[in-house]
Chain A
Amino acid sequence: MNVLDAYLERVYALVEEMRERAALVRVYQAPGIPGTGDLPGASDALARLTEGLPIRVGPGASPGLILRSDTFLELGSPEAGSCSLLLATDTTRLVHDGRVTLVGPEVGESAGGSLPFGQVLMLRGAGLGEKDLDELQRLLVVAGQIEGYMVRSAPGNVWSRVSQEAAAKGFSFATLGRALRALVMSGSPAVEAVEVLFVTSGKADLVPLEAAAQQVRKIAREGTRERWKVKGYDIDCANDCSACGDKPVCDDIRSVLKERQHIDESPGGTHAT
């Protein structure tokens, strides 16, 4: 069993909890894509995966910049709240390919607004797991690859904008989910299935997701460390005090200095010169 499977199950449980709290939950299903794996190139796969979408997806699809004045909706601003989570597994039953679940308002229902934004991408593929997360994360750097959608350059979580033009064309979370799925599947042949969850219902609904995301980041970091080690690099060094063999020496020096300072500050102290 993959170490991330527990987090996938946690995500499904959270969606059910939100549904029980009467949050508006919508489920979209992307059309099937039989035979994509047999296509000769990534661009062909991308074309098949994005067929019928109201916007273009792929390199050069957009200039990558949406001005404030051209913005229809902002998602995940620091004030509104944001959380992003990427999970990967090789357990078939845990990822429903093409399914996009939205908890909360749709793009078209939020003109001129700013919504909290949770984005969870669940990927499945043979042998996929925590060791692959950082490389897969690079595929999610949208840059100019989704027309009418800009993820701002603030690193960490997803803070993004949907343009007025894209909204007028019918850009929705189903569109975004399919676009992200297309970028990931065309970018990595190892990914066989992608399921997406978006949460726009409220900042409070992001809290349990963020708790899971924090744990997954730690797991992912272990995977990253291992992957770099294979390449011959140790990307971490034990440079905090608790890991240093000389800590007792430093502690002694600190206690002497403290004592010295205490003497200096006491009445009649020397005030070292």
Chain B
Amino acid sequence: MSDKATQMTMTTPALASDAGVFDQLNREANGILAELLPQKLLEAPKGGKPFVIGSDEVLPEIVSAMDLYYNILTVTGATAAGMPDGAQTIDKAIEMGVESRLCNAVRCAMYYLYSPLMPMPDAIVTTNSPCDAVDTLGIMMDNYKPWAHVPKFHLDAPHGREEEDFVYFGKQLKEMVLFLEKATGRKLDLGRFLALCEESNRQGALLAEFQELKRAVPCPVDPDWARRGFRLSRWIPPGRPEVTDILRRLVAATEERVKAKQGMDGVDEKIRFLWWDVSPVWAGKLFPRLATELGAVCLMDYYSYAAPWTVIDTTSEESALRTFGKRYLIDTPMTRQAMHGADFWIEDALRIVKEFRLDAVVMPCHIGHKDLNAFPKIARDACREAGIPFLFLGCDVWDERYMPPDKVFETMKTFFQSVGLA
């Protein structure tokens, strides 16, 4: 794939303020994020490590400490949907006969699952989280005939968010470790595992710090850096000092811009809004235009909001796994929003609006997110009560053909005008 295509796939086009140091950070980040490209999955066996495939992200620190090659099939599918030929991949997956309302990221994942080029994994880990689509993908992986003999482990993520839920999930993670040890012959190196957790904690602290900096008005840098930071920290095999270094420089450079009261160059910030769903793969055709033409900045979405706030307790393996359980259940984007009740989801939105001084809530309501089907009226009513302008879209974050970015732009423009923000 060409550099240009990689650039398009891995990040939204950076806004003008990301010059100089941010250009450098962007280049370094893209270099690392290229590891998520789908072709890497097909090259998995070449690494000589046991190959474990999972339906969701689960715990990168564990598989890294066991020196396993781990692929998150959903992330591969989502990345494929964002490639220049993403629409073709979606169409090919549809031809395979999947039900029409399945999330297109998972459709693409399924396309890779059934691809004849797909390497045979040494173990499979599936989970019921975060949403019905990923759960469905897990069922497909479990029932894929050529993989019938591959050892499988299924994690049961509870819908609760109290201590007993974290303990419950932590125990399952311990069972998963034992399963992986048996299936791959690799042992969990406790020292290496805890060292990776420490590095992961350092990255989490930096991501949380960057999050706060987005409170500044005007927003000092492209807010999407939070999402990029998350992907670097959680989707790439963790514990890499170069990722920590990128995040450290990102925070330092952003702090300088806050002190100088600098906003994004070329953006006269007038509107700050919450995009309360996954950022679309076609964001590059929407958000920069909204920012430059209307001064409307997307401050937050699912993946640029959640950060690994929970510090992994490295006192022991048990404490580490329990705190990982907490991090997974309430800090992980999508899991946080899709696994818990409507009240939790809307309270997050209302708090973000207040803390980050946002002017409006946009509910894209990605068509594949069936967990959101009951939420639009709840969200509208709650926003109305709080005096926050609210817009419902109903788009497909993975396939721009469903509601083209130009159409979304015009709808949002009309909305901002009609509520007196533009």
Q: Which residues of A contact B (CB under 8 A)?
A: 63-65, 67-69, 78-79, 134, 138, 141, 143-144, 150-156, 214, 217-218, 224, 228, 231, 233, 235-236, 239-241, 264, 271-273
Contacts and interface: CB of A to CB of B under 8 A. Distances in A.
B343 A235 contact: yes
Contacts of B208: 152, 154
Given A143-B355, A153-B355, A264-B148, A65 B216 contact: yes
Nearest to B149: A271
A236 B341 contact: yes
B215 interface: yes
A236 B158 CA distance: 14
Given A65-B212, A152-B212, 12 more contacts: A141-B350, A143-B357, A151-B355, A153-B352, A154-B309, A155-B351, A156-B309, A214-B162, A240-B158, A264-B148, A272-B145, A272-B148
Interface string B190-224: 00000000000000000011011101110000000
Interface size class of B (residues with CB under 8 A): 35 or more
A134 B159 contact: no
A233 B348 contact: no
Contacts of A214: 162-163
Interface of B: 145, 148-149, 156, 158-159, 162-163, 208-209, 211-213, 215-217, 255, 258-259, 307, 309-311, 330, 341-343, 347-348, 350-352, 354-357, 378, 381
B352 A264 contact: no
B342 A235 contact: yes
A228 B385 CA distance: 13
A5 B138 CA distance: 46
27 contacts: A63-B216, A64-B215, A64-B357, A65-B212, A67-B258, A79-B311, A134-B347, A141-B350, A141-B351, A141-B354, A141-B355, A152-B212, A153-B351, A154-B208, A154-B309, A155-B351, A156-B309, A156-B330, A217-B162, A228-B343, A231-B381, A233-B378, A239-B159, A241-B156, A264-B148, A271-B148, A272-B145
Contacts of B145: 272-273
A158 B305 CA distance: 17
Main secondary structure of the interface of A (DSSP, over half): loop
Contacts of B216: 63, 65
A228 B342 CA distance: 10
Which 8 pairs, one residue from A and one from B, show the smallest C-beta to C-beta distance?
Answer: A78-B311, A154-B309, A272-B148, A271-B149, A65-B215, A235-B342, A143-B354, A235-B341
B208 to A, nearest CB: 6
A141 B378 CA distance: 21
Contact of B259 (A67, A138, A240): A67
A153 B162 contact: no
Contacts of B149: 264, 271-272
Nearest to A65: B215
Contacts of A235: 341-343, 378
A233 B156 CA distance: 27
B255 A273 contact: no
B126 to A, nearest CB: 13
A257 B135 CA distance: 18
B233 to A, nearest CB: 15
Contacts of B159: 239-240
A218 B351 contact: no
A138 B159 CA distance: 23
Contacts of B255: 67-69
Nearest to A153: B355
B370 to A, nearest CB: 12
Q: Of A150, A228, A240, which is in contact with the most chain B CB atoms at under 10 Å from its CB?
A: A228
Nearest to B377: A233
A217 B160 CA distance: 12
B356 A153 contact: yes
A217 B165 CA distance: 14
B380 to A, nearest CB: 12
A231 to B, nearest CB: 7
A63 B148 CA distance: 58
Given A138-B350, A144-B357, A155-B348, A63 B215 contact: yes
Contacts of A155: 309, 348, 351
Contacts of A151: 355
A218 B165 CA distance: 13
Contacts of A239: 159
A236 B217 CA distance: 37
A127 B309 CA distance: 36
A62 to B, nearest CB: 10
Contacts of A241: 156
Nearest to B347: A134
A211 to B, nearest CB: 9
B136 to A, nearest CB: 15
A154 B348 CA distance: 10
Contact of B212 (A141, A153, A236, A273): A153
A156 B309 CA distance: 10
B156 to A, nearest CB: 8
B212 A224 contact: no
A264 B147 CA distance: 13
A217 B255 CA distance: 36
A63 B217 contact: yes
Contact of A78 (B215, B309, B343, B354): B309
Contacts of B330: 156
A241 B212 CA distance: 38
